Amino acid sequence: MNTWYWLIPSQNIREHLQKIEYKFSALEVAFLLWNNKNITISQKHGYWNTLTKEMPDEEIKRRINTDPYPSLHDYLRAYKETQNALLAEFYDEKNAVYSYRFYCEGDDDWCENYKTVYPTYDAAYSALKEDFDLPIIKVEIKKQRLDEPKRIITVMMTKDGKSTDIDVIGTTKQESDILYGVFEGLWLDIPLPFKRGDILQAKRSYYDCETEDSEPFVLESCHNWTAKDYEANGVQLSRERARNIDWSVYRHRKNGDISDTFPCGYALYDGFIRGANKLYRHVMDGTDFLSLEYYKGELTGANRLLSLLSKRMKNEIDDEVFAHGHFIITQEEYLKEYKKYMNFRSDIWEEIGIKKEK
């Protein structure tokens, strides 16, 4: 029985994979563990040990951004040894200085942000503890050697000091090959339950351990959709367009990396500028597609455009209804913003029956 479903951050995708009894390959499990931001390095190594005991070995094939290895098991052992050696170096306080930064829930930027230098790790962590009354969700502590200032080791950790990941500037070639030569060059072709027009939300990014909910968007396509998937979603394709889509998926299966797994959809411009509160189409850069879930919040204000577009993409309304609805919503939202920022005398507005938006 497959026991690795818990590694999928999205409940909707996790339930879908369980329903179809999807079987992960050993390389997929190794990637999912590497990509997991919610377990410690020690836990990750333990799960990799379980993987090498319970799952058959396989070759890591060469890709444009992936170095080949004849044995996944041997590679994982080398990865663990490299991380352990770097952690030992990180905690060796001889001839080094430390600094830190932390991120609080609801904030837009890092706090402290490496402003102060400390002579030891313990001194840096003790200073960090003075802010433990804050809702800290991320911590990074950086070590820089005085005799080799271009070599910088940064450890990402939980509030209680347990390391979750490690990054190095000034690596040796061997360290670089092991740490950065495989996983970021992979492209996962995992089945997804979503359809064109679904309103989704990403729970996290590939590039950060951010856990706060992102803004909703209307799905247009997923990275691994073939021409048949588009047609199943009601999209009429020319023969040339279908051929190009299938060729793109084929190339990504051969040489795509994590930057080729982002979904495409429609999101909302916001803010009081002409042209704001309108839909725009783009690739959801940085989105971890395995964290996508159906949006469960209420769509109010300009976000009503997402609901309108969703219904049009699913052919629940026609072009005429969409056009009228789009005009009404955008004008309503524009007037709200206009009235909110108007700087005329409020008594005059009240005299002529215009209520000022708060």
Phi/psi at 118 (nearest 5 deg)? -125, 150
Residue-wise DSSP of 218-234: EEEE-TT--HHHHHHTT
101 and 170 both lie in a single domain: yes
81 and 138 both lie in a single domain: yes
Residue numbers of the domain that contains 296: 191-223+261-358
117 and 172 both lie in a single domain: yes
How many residues are there in the chain?
358
Place of tokens 């005398």: 345
162 and 115 both lie in a single domain: yes
208 and 121 both lie in a single domain: no
Residue-wise DSSP of 145-162: ESSSTT-EEEEEE-TTS-
Looking at residue 344, its pLDDT comes to 57
Q: Are 116 and 142 in contact (CB under 8 A)?
A: no
53 and 172 both lie in a single domain: yes
Looking at residue 209, its pLDDT comes to 47
Of 141, 165, 189, the last residue of a domain is 189
User: Pseudo-torsion of CA 224, 228, 229, 230, nearest 10°?
Assistant: 100
- For the sheet containing 217-221, what is the strand order? 279-283, 264-268, 217-221, 199-202, 292-294
121 and 204 both lie in a single domain: no
38 and 178 both lie in a single domain: yes
Q: Give the count of beta carbons closer than 10 Å to the beta carbon of residue 81.
A: 12
For residue 226, what are its two tokens?
């073939």
Looking at residue 203, its pLDDT comes to 85
Is residue 15, in this structure, part of any structural domain at all? no
Q: Are 193 and 16 in contact (CB under 8 A)?
A: yes
Name residues whose C-beta falls within 8 Å of residue 279's C-beta, 6 or more positions apart in sequence.
218, 266, 267, 268, 269, 305, 306, 309
103 and 204 both lie in a single domain: no
216 and 230 both lie in a single domain: no
Looking at residue 343, its pLDDT comes to 61
Q: pTM value?
A: 0.88
187: left (phi over 0), alpha (psi -120 to 50) or beta: beta
27 and 160 both lie in a single domain: yes
- pLDDT tens, residue order, the chain (358 aa): 458 999 999 999 999 999 999 999 999 999 999 998 889 999 999 999 999 999 999 999 999 999 999 999 999 999 999 999 999 999 999 999 999 999 998 888 899 999 999 999 999 999 999 999 999 988 999 999 999 999 999 999 999 999 999 999 999 999 999 999 999 999 999 999 999 999 999 988 876 544 445 789 999 999 999 999 999 999 999 999 999 999 999 999 999 999 999 999 999 876 545 556 688 888 988 899 999 999 999 999 889 999 999 999 999 999 999 999 999 998 888 887 777 766 656 677 777 777 766 6
What single letter denotes the amino acid at residue 164? T
Task: Look at the chain and report how many structural domains it folds into.
Answer: 3
Is residue 353, in this structure, part of any structural domain at all? yes
253: left (phi over 0), alpha (psi -120 to 50) or beta: alpha
E-only strand ranges, the chain: 96-104, 136-145, 152-157, 163-169, 199-202, 217-221, 264-268, 279-283, 292-294
Is residue 10, in this structure, part of any structural domain at all? no
Is residue 177, in this structure, part of any structural domain at all? yes
244 and 284 both lie in a single domain: no
Of 189, 211, 245, the last residue of a domain is 189
Q: What is the pLDDT of residues 167-221, one digit of tens each?
A: 999 999 999 999 999 999 999 999 999 999 999 999 888 765 444 457 899 999 9
- Between the alpha carbon of residue 289 and those of residues 17, 28, 38, 110, 119, the distances in Å are 14, 14, 17, 25, 41
Looking at residue 215, its pLDDT comes to 87
Looking at residue 176, its pLDDT comes to 94
For residue 29, what are its two tokens?
């499990």
Phi/psi at 120 (nearest 5 deg)? -140, 160
Looking at residue 212, its pLDDT comes to 47
